[in-house]
A and B are shown apart, each in its own frame.
Chain A
Amino acid sequence: MNTMPNSNVVVADKLPPPSTVKPRRFSMPILGLIGLCIVVFWLLMAVIGPTISPYDAGQIVDADVFGGLSRKLLLGSDYLGRDMLSRILFGTRYTIGLALAATLLACSIGTGLALCAALAGGWVDAVMSRTLDALISIPSKMFALMMVASFGSSPELLIITAAITYMPGSYRISRALAVNVQTMEYVQAARARGEGALYITCIEMLPNMIRPVLADAGLRFVFVVLLLSGLSFLSLGVQPPDADWGSLVRENIAGLGEGAPAVIMPALAIATLTIGVNLLIDNLRGKRSRKD
């Protein structure tokens, strides 16, 4: 984890300026394509999932609880006899929506602060970096548990908690990139032309650090998904009657003893999503560093 920002910086360093890059054919290793397909699939499900699900999430459709896979209920039934496939499809929105919102918040605030710190330099930079370093030294689950204990659990709180937890990491990486990009000649040229700070950050610096920042955002999304589903698994995250994938595992945990698919399926859904994102990012990054 710690070596990642550096390797990204090196890559960004070696990249030729954008104008000289020839438009290259879009090609990606097969693993990356698989990752892309998984990610697109789940994003699609988050949008249209509830409309294509066979039953309503709360509807009890089967007398048999913890039923196995069948033609009628593709992924079996849960502890009340509800359709597992529908529950997972309805849960997609919570798992992906909350994590996406938190990631966007964390990365935009982190990158924004990093650009400010890099531009301002001096004591502003030092104070900001020290403060955020102290924030990192509270383990993420511990911070989330304390937030839930103090404020109760609501979707908004979950988003804010995850955003605060992963913002310092994003700040660190973006700051390293920004400090690096700032020494480039085109930035100094812009400065010599007398451009304003806003122009320099938005037009000169941001486009040249956006790719590593986006790759980092993808990894952060995985961490957020894991954190939030972990919280839901402890029944401290998304509260009933709503359920994300973590809560689905939790509420069906009684079926573990009989090996019910209701426990495994939502957990597998999380695993496919996180592994898919990882595959996609690894191969995007791998391709670039091989080419240069």
Chain B
Amino acid sequence: MNGTVGRLIINRLGLGILTLLLVSIGVFLITNLLPGDAAQAALGQSATPETVAALRLQFGLDQPAPVRYFYWLSGLLSGNPGISLVNNVPVAQLIAGRLPSSLLLAAVTAAVSVPIALTLGITSAMYRGSLFDRVVSVGSVSMVSVPEFLVATIAVMIFAVKLRWLSALSHTADIASAGQFLKAYAMPVLTLCCVIVAQMSRMTRAAVIDQLSSSYVEMAALKGARPTRIVLTHALPNAIGPIANAVALSLSYLLGGVIIVESIFNYPGIASLMIDAVTTRDMPLVQACAMIFCCAYLLLVLAADICAIVSNPRLRNR
């Protein structure tokens, strides 16, 4: 670790914060371009112009957009993203009730999918061109190119309808034992894993193959090292950076998948909260949820980039 790496990381962090700021402007613009406004939406069609005007004043909608943006941004930063238009509950409270279950789902999925994906990716890189490699690669290409809800419906068909092992909905309220936990989480986690593992094993395979084609691996082979040893002690340590990069990037696919999965299994997480908010046009809630998702996405991409910077030996020795 030296000055170059530190400077690059600080640069990358600064760029990340700048991007987040741009994204927040984007979110604010999209959700405020609507010709009608929140006051009109909250009161419905039958509202008189006077009540609408009064509510506009109460929401602060009479102020110019940049002023409202700064109010909104400072609210977000201080943990107070406004009041839900639909049921008059603070958005922060709604989110606090749902965020832990979404994080738990994401954590369980990551814990299951990362080891599987790395094993698949590394072994298929080792036996490149073999039948195993081709099966894994065709499987992951088709997994990436079908919609998440197909994976979910097929999983329900097999495990809930035909085999009757699991229930089609995820009941998280009454979890008392490990068995119930497994029953509630198996289906959503399985579906999410299918999508993530496919992405991650493809990227891991590419990263390891990239290392395997370098000259030090050729040297190790000429020296007479066995294939397992070449991969585990020579290629893998050098591939850790690209692999960490691949893991972080694939985990960002979780964000898209979780929207569908929470909706299909009726899982009480933040994505289903957001879908409800979109259906009822509850703008403060939509904005807050969107910012949470964008933050998570940017954090994962940032983590991927920092892994790539830290693990680059050329930067370390400069």
Contacts and interface: CB of A to CB of B under 8 A. Distances in A.
**Is B a genuine binding partner of A?**
yes
A230 B152 CA distance: 12
Contact of A140 (B32, B154, B157, B256): B256
Given A150-B34, A236-B275, A139 B150 contact: no
Given A139-B252, A145-B290, A234-B263, 10 more contacts: A139-B255, A139-B256, A226-B147, A246-B147, A246-B149, A249-B150, A258-B161, A275-B141, A277-B145, A278-B141
A149 interface: yes
Interface in B121-172: 141-142, 145-150, 153-154, 156-157, 160-162, 168
Contacts of A147: 30
17 contacts: A138-B290, A139-B256, A147-B30, A149-B31, A149-B277, A149-B283, A150-B34, A150-B283, A151-B34, A230-B147, A233-B260, A236-B279, A249-B149, A267-B146, A267-B149, A271-B145, A275-B146
A271 B150 contact: yes
Contact of B30 (A3, A146, A235): A146
B147 A270 contact: yes
B309 to A, nearest CB: 15
Given A146-B27, A149-B278, A270-B146, A137 B260 contact: no
Contacts of B19: 133-134, 137
Interface in A178-214: none
A263 B153 contact: yes
A256 interface: yes
Contacts of A137: 19, 22-23, 294, 297-298, 301
A13 B220 CA distance: 32
A256 B157 contact: yes
Interface residues of A, number: 44
Interface of A: 3, 133-135, 137-143, 145-151, 222, 226, 229-230, 233-236, 246, 249, 253, 256-259, 263-264, 267-268, 270-271, 274-275, 277-278, 282
B147 A149 contact: no
Given A142-B290, A267-B153, A259 B147 contact: no
A137 B18 CA distance: 11
Contacts of B306: none
Contacts of B277: 149
A144 to B, nearest CB: 10
A134 B26 contact: yes
Q: 5 closest A-B pairs (Cβ-Cβ)?
A: A134-B22, A267-B150, A149-B278, A271-B146, A274-B145
Contacts of B32: 150
A138 B294 contact: yes
B281 interface: yes
Contacts of B147: 226, 229-230, 233, 246, 267, 270-271, 274
A141 B274 CA distance: 11
Interface in B1-55: 19, 22-23, 26-27, 30-34
B297 A149 contact: no
A258 B259 CA distance: 24
Contacts of B279: 235-236
A256 B298 contact: no
B11 to A, nearest CB: 14
A140 B253 CA distance: 10
Contacts of A151: 33-34
Nearest to B252: A139
A274 B19 CA distance: 32
B286 interface: yes
A278 B31 CA distance: 35
A259 B294 contact: no
A276 B133 CA distance: 21
Nearest to A274: B145
B69 interface: no
A263 B147 CA distance: 13
B206 A230 contact: no
A264 B153 contact: yes
Contacts of A229: 147
B275 A256 contact: no
Contacts of A230: 147-149, 256, 259-260
Nearest to B145: A274
A258 to B, nearest CB: 7
A149 B161 contact: no
A264 B34 CA distance: 37
